[in-house]
Amino acid sequence: MTHSYRQPGVVLTDHRFTVPLDHDDPSGETIELYAREVVAAEKAGRDLPWLVYLQGGPGFGANRFIGKQAWLGRALEDYRVLLLDQRGTGHSTPANRQTLPLRGGPAEQAGYLARFRADSIVRDCEAIRPQVTGGAPWTVLGQSFGGFCTLTYLSFAPEGLDTAIITGGLPSLDGHADDVYRAAYPRMERKVTAHYERYPQDVERARRIADHLLTHEVTLPNGYRLTVEAFQSLGILLGSGDGTHRLHHLLEDAFVRTPAGPALSDAFQEQVQHLLSFASHPLYALVHEACYAQGGRPTAWAAERVRSEFPQFDAAKALAGDEPLLFTGETIHPWTFDCDPALRPLRETAELLAARTDWPPLYDPARLAANEVPAAAAVYHDDLYVDTAHSLATARAVKGLRTWVTNEFEHDGVRAGGPRVLDRLLALARDRL
């Protein structure tokens, strides 16, 4: 049963679909997917082509837009849009500390979560596409991890696609997670250096907070243990267009005077717990490194292992000298599961996923080299989250893929740039530029 309702300028319809947990066992267990159809109010009765949106992450449900926000207004000029909550996210069958124990112990949970990568998401899309479009191919817009999924789509089910649009999401086709993070840490350092050049007063503020965390045990109101490494991970903010300013405002109000001496303010702690908690998107932590897993090798906590190759990120060493504290971001570590109460019950499950070696391939280089689907991608110069060199190498490997390389936006360009980014990419894919 579907239900339609209105927001300013649009008509929305809720959809629910049943798909196999394991598409290789279609008669086995099923899960539910939720998606929200959006159409411009003035076109509600028209027969329009479809665009399916694949959100970044992994682990985030599709955007909850109000009206025609961000890129959606441009999309609605041409399409009906399906905002899909990928498996395990949003209103789809959830996968979190509360629900995963229904699977059994950590081994059963890890086996279940192994089916929550791009390959399964693409097969979900192909399972529901006939119900949505009547069998016609649709356009896919993949943001970040959604772009990874789009490359998987082009690899294994290109017949389902009319056009492929990718924003900030061209991954290495054959790189191991180690390669991803070996490229990431220098990029993180550049972003932090640029932040301190803009806000030099933040050098001392960050050092002071880090020193406090090294000498005090701090537990945030939601039970999150705020260690210095967890504090450093707030550098994830630096991947968005306004992130450097948000980080600055966060740091400037960190301390208050109390009868017992300086303490981290309630306001600071409340903001930090909101930024660091995985309660609303645990899959991001659980299968993040698995998104890069191929070729029979375990990920084995790649971000943690590779970090040791970059001693400048060691907070204690930085504070022992006069070096600025370096922030990190877009990395998951074993301690992430110790700090966050939403993840602690899943630590053993995460260990099993990190040790897993039987990951199937996510991309087919030969098929991509013969691609016939019109495709365009925005590559953000020095993107914090996706390595530019990896993206450009992949772009060269996909026949017909047209790229727009820009330093006008950070990783969130498709949101921050409004309709302009999608408009340019559609023009590229349609060979109008």
Q: Catalytic amino acids?
A: 144, 358, 411
CA dist., res. 252 & res. 268, Å (int): 9
Q: Can you point out the beta strands (E) in 50-144? A: 50-54, 80-85, 138-143
Helix (H, G, I), strand (E, B) or coil at 23: coil
Per-position DSSP letters for 42-96, written without gaps between them: GGTTS---EEEEE-STTT-PPP---SSTTTHHHHTTT-EEEEEE-TBSTTSSB-S
Task: Please provide the distance, in angstroms rounded to a whole number, between the alpha carbons at the two ends of the chain.
Answer: 42
Q: Would you give the DSSP letter of residue 391? A: H
A 10 A CB-CB count for 324 gives: 19
- Tokens encoding 147: 């772009």
* Closest CA relative to residue 367, chosen from 342, 415, 402, 401: 401
CA dist., res. 168 & res. 410, Å (int): 9
Residue 433's identity, in one-letter code, is L
CA dist., res. 335 & res. 225, Å (int): 10
- Partnered with residue 6 across adjacent β-strands are 11
Is 381 in contact with 407 (CB distance < 8 Å)? yes
Is 144 in contact with 356 (CB distance < 8 Å)? no
